């Protein structure tokens, strides 16, 4: 590559992806653990409450898992784009933890808590 082309590219854009990784992966882990342990909230429920909880939990668990997979895909895309298209890499790095948060909020809203 010519010398002047190499200097026009931002050299530290990968830091946004690194920070996003450090934030997103623990958030996703705790969301998954809490989501997996949340059926214990209805251990002492009546049978009617348990049926309502189970019906909402199945859909909410699917939404949470899909949202976490999407956040992982956005995180990987932020790493790829940080080297090829730096502005898109920074945008995706910010979007990854936001995706975990949105998936978590949707999970909490879909479950019919006792």
Q: What is the per-residue pLDDT across 19-57, written as a single tens digit (0 to 9) for each?
A: 999 999 999 999 999 999 988 887 787 888 888 888 889
In a domain, 72, yes or no: yes
Sign of CA dihedral 68, 69, 70, 74: positive
Task: Yes or no: say if 29 and 102 are a contact pair by the CB < 8 Å rule.
Answer: no
Q: How many domains does the chain have?
A: 1
In a domain, 24, yes or no: yes
In a domain, 17, yes or no: yes
d(CA 102, CA 105) in angstroms, rounded, equals: 5
Q: What is the pTM of this model?
A: 0.83
Query: What pLDDT does 107 receive?
Result: 95
Query: What pLDDT does 2 receive?
Result: 55
């Amino acid at each position: 590559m010519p010398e002047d082309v190499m200097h026009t590219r931002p050299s530290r854009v990968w830091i946004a992806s690194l920070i996003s990784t450090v934030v997103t992966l623990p958030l996703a882990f705790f969301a998954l653990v809490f989501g997996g342990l949340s059926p214990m909230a209805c251990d002492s429920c009546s049978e009617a409450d348990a049926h309502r909880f189970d019906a909402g939990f199945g859909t909410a668990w699917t939404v949470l898992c899909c949202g976490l997979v999407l956040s992982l895909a956005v995180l990987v895309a932020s790493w790829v784009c940080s080297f090829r298209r730096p502005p898109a890499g920074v945008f995706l790095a910010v979007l990854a933890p936001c995706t975990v948060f949105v998936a978590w909020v949707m999970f909490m809203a879909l479950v019919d808590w006792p």
